[in-house]
């Protein structure tokens, strides 16, 4: 069974204080690892897909990296508008009944950036 | 990537009643997914809905409690039946996005059962 553990559960930063969020995973054949941002009262918003160890992707102040056991979401010089819950999910190679590869989500890291 | 319109965005319901949540996608998709997100918990898949066939339910979820309709390739509904306070949660629909873009989600329905 695929598993995803995110840490920390909550993180408070001052504006400009860089940090990293962790996503540890176990999966039977990684098809993809996803990062999402979720604002209160909204559905998750796609950020990145990573496919193989060593891969990195960047978007504005965010950079996602991937190893064989974990992924990091690095936030450089965060701003208050980066405050949100960040979700990690893995899609394994096990085809589920119904013919789909269903991602397994972590519980998320709630990030608050103070001005 | 597909855009999903989900409604209602929130509702407060009496226990024992039912609520139907609708999701409309702006393009045709084969599979639609229904999730539940309880406070502090991860997204939990309820069922996968394919057009023209019965929905496939995950362990712990049954059709009598969460009946799903999928009348065409752009629309689906999830009904939460005979509600209890334990059903209070956020319900989300989702579709697979273009390759490399993961999954697209609706804006969610925040359900409170009193």
Q: How many domains does chain B have?
A: 1
Return the closest-CA partner of residue B34 out of B83, B69, B8, B71: B69
So what's the pLDDT on residue B97? 85
Give residue B33's domain range: 4-113
In this predicted structure, what is the pLDDT of residue A100? 77
- Give residue B104's pLDDT: 94
Q: Do A107 and B108 touch (CB under 8 A)?
A: no
Domain of residue B18, CATH code: 2.60.40.10
Instruction: Give domain limits for chain A.
Output: 3-106
pLDDT digits (tens, 9 = 90+) for B59-99: 999 999 999 999 999 999 999 999 999 999 999 999 988 77
Contact A107 B45 (CB under 8 A): no
Q: How many CB pairs under 8 A join A and B?
A: 62
CA distance B71 to chain A (A): 17
Spatial separation of the C-alpha atoms in residues A23 and A66, rounded to whole Å = 9
Whether B51 shows a pLDDT value over 70: the answer reads: yes
Say whether A43 and B106 touch across the interface (CB within 8 A). yes
For chain B, what's the residue count? 114
A99 touches chain B (CB under 8 A): yes
Q: Give the residues of chain A that fall short of pLDDT 50.
A: none
What percentage of chain A reaches a pLDDT higher than 70? 97
- Taking the C-alpha atoms of residue A24 and residue A69, their distance in angstroms, rounded to an integer, is 6
**B33 to A99: CB separation less than 8 angstroms, yes or no:** no
Dump pLDDT digits (tens) for A34-65. Answer: 999 999 989 999 999 999 999 999 999 999 99
Neighbouring C-alpha atoms within 13 Å toward the C-beta of B58? 14
CA end-to-end span of chain B? 37
CATH superfamily ID and name for A3-106: Immunoglobulins (2.60.40.10)
Question: Per-residue pLDDT averaged across B47-55, rounded?
Answer: 87
């Amino acid at each position: 069974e695929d598993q995803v553990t995110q840490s920390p559960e909550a993180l408070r930063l001052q504006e400009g204080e860089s940090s990293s969020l962790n996503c540890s995973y176990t999966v039977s054949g990684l098809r993809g690892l996803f990062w999402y941002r979720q604002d209160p009262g909204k559905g998750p918003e796609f950020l990145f897909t990573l496919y193989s160890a060593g891969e990195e992707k960047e978007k504005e102040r965010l950079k996602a990296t991937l190893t064989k056991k974990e992924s990091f979401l690095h936030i450089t010089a965060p701003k208050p508008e980066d405050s949100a819950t960040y979700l990690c999910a893995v899609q394994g190679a096990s085809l589920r009944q119904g013919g789909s590869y269903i991602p397994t989500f972590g519980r998320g890291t709630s990030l608050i950036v103070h001005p | 990537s597909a855009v999903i319109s989900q409604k209602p965005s929130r509702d407060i319901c009496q226990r024992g009643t039912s609520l139907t949540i609708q999701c409309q996608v702006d393009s045709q998709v084969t599979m639609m997914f229904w999730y539940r997100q309880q406070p502090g918990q991860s997204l939990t898949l309820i069922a996968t809905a394919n057009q023209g066939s019965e929905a496939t339910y995950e362990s712990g979820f049954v059709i009598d409690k969460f009946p799903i309709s999928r009348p065409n390739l752009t629309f689906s509904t999830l009904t939460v039946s005979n509600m209890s306070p334990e059903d209070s949660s956020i319900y989300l629909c989702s579709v697979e996005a273009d390759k490399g873009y993961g999954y697209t989600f609706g804006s969610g329905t925040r359900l409170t059962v009193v």
